[in-house]
Structure 1
Amino acid sequence: MAKKKFDYFHYFKQISEIICEAAEFLHRVLRDFDSNALQKSIDYMHEIEHRADCAKHEMTQLLAHEFITPIEREDIVALAQELDNVVDKLEDVLLRIYMFGVKAIREEAVAFSGVIVKCSGELDKVMAEFKNFKNSATIRDGIVAVNHYESDGDALLVENIRMLSASAVPDREFYIWTDIYEHLEECLDACEDVADIIESVIMKNT
């Protein structure tokens, strides 16, 4: 009996769905923030992150025994790592809020996490099309959408820090929220890093 080929694209899509779950959970935590429930939220986010880790490790372990892969091995490893990195970045935001002892969430942070939800949704659509990347009519549009949301994040970071400066908040609060905004923007950077790898794969294989 022929050995069943491992479906890497299925695993990429599985991790992108975990990214969406993590992004939506972060958004809900910030929108409905309860500092007393923060530790519970962190524990749940860590469970999500652990599932992404497990999927990545299973994929890379199987890759070690594969002779023929649908795309270059280094691209599979890089893509698996960058997908997992998105979930790590999302978890980092909650950890920052916990470490700084934040008691209330600024509206701008909720809006920022909303952009991350939209960006992760576009990334998930890209991953759904990735198995058909040679013939897909929509995958490039998805990549452009991810890049667009990352640019929105850059603009939000600048504007939110500008608003902090204009409101003359205490130095400690300025530092805390600047750091949180930067970590929110890094979530979008990580999504764009995934999209960039996919775009590179398309260019090398079409």
Structure 2
Amino acid sequence: MAKKHSPYFQDFVAMADFSVQAAEYLQVVLEGFEVHRLAECRDAMHAIEHAEDEVKHDMMRRLAKEFVTPIDREDIIQLANDLDTVTDKIDDILIRVYMYNISQVRPAALAMADVILRCCKALHTAIVEFPNFHKSQTLTQAIIAVNTLEEEGDALYIAAVHELYLEGGNPIEVAAWSELFDRLEDCCDACEHVADALETVVMKNS
């Protein structure tokens, strides 16, 4: 792999930064949940997602004009799309909390939000180390951490949905939370997809 200081690697880090920001904001909103601020919080989250989109669009415009890239063009596109998906999935949580008019947050959602944040931070570490993969032990450890956290997220998701249906209650509320737990788990899956893509690119260039 050449050109360790290529702007593409810097763009990947910037996109991972936005994922961490989104995950941090999700945790803040859910922990200090206020129904009357949902629309405001939804818009603030979407602003983070939009800022990341701008980084991705700039990257794609640059890529369209360049013939020589530090890694395969297809891998740049794949990583950019996968990183973008992470923040999109987090953004989607607050959109749906607003759509479903959620009035209070279940403890399992807070636990899952914590895992999402830790996943995004581990992914950020991996992205920062990505250009130095030939000599970086940290990259491998970060990829493993993302995979481990995704498994933790799966376990929380299964337990949360089981408890939800065990309790029963209002069918509309059950349906809404079942969907929200699905979407929270999707965030962890999205992080794992980036980690898997990173691992594939590293193997191709080793």
Q: TM-score range by the shorter chain?
A: over 0.9
Q: Give the structure-1-normalised TM-score.
A: 0.96
Residue in 2 that maps onto 1:149: 149
CA distance in 2, matches of 1:18, 1:157: 24
CA distance in 2, matches of 1:107, 1:196: 30
CA distance in 2, matches of 1:178, 1:72: 39
Look up the equivalent residue of 2:177 and give its one-letter code. Answer: W
Residue in 2 that maps onto 1:78: 78
Stretches of structure 2 lacking an aligned partner (at least 5 in a row): none
Give how far 1:148 is off.
0.7
Give how far 1:154 is off.
1.1
Look up the equivalent residue of 2:141 and give its one-letter code. Answer: D
**Length, aligned pairs only:** 202
CA distance in 2, matches of 1:94, 1:166: 25
Look up the equivalent residue of 1:93 and give its one-letter code. Answer: I
Look up the equivalent residue of 2:147 and give its one-letter code. Answer: N
Residue in 1 that maps onto 2:129: 129
Q: Which digits, 9 at most, give the CA deviation of each residue in 1:40-96, with x for residues without a partner?
A: 101111110011100000001101111111110000001001111111100100011
Q: Percent identity?
A: 42
Give how far 1:6 is off.
4.5
For 1:14-163, list aligned pairs within 5 A. 14-163=14-163
The answer to whether the 8 A contact 1:134-1:205 is kept is no
SS of corresponding position for 1:105: coil
CA distance in 2, matches of 1:32, 1:175: 23
For 1:157-176, list aligned pairs within 5 A. 157-176=157-176
CA distance in 2, matches of 1:108, 1:6: 41
List, as ranges, runs of 4+ consecutive aligned residues in structure 1 with deviation greater than 2 Å: none
SS of corresponding position for 1:188: helix
Q: Which digits, 9 at most, give the CA deviation of each residue in 1:177-206, with x for residues without a partner?
A: 110000000001110111111000011011
Q: Give the structure-2-normalised TM-score.
A: 0.96
Residue in 2 that maps onto 1:191: 191
Look up the equivalent residue of 1:17 and give its one-letter code. Answer: D
SS of corresponding position for 1:64: helix
Stretches of structure 1 lacking an aligned partner (at least 5 in a row): none
Q: Name the Cα RMSD after superposition.
A: 1.0
The answer to whether the 8 A contact 2:6-2:70 is kept is no
CA distance in 1, matches of 2:137, 2:147: 18
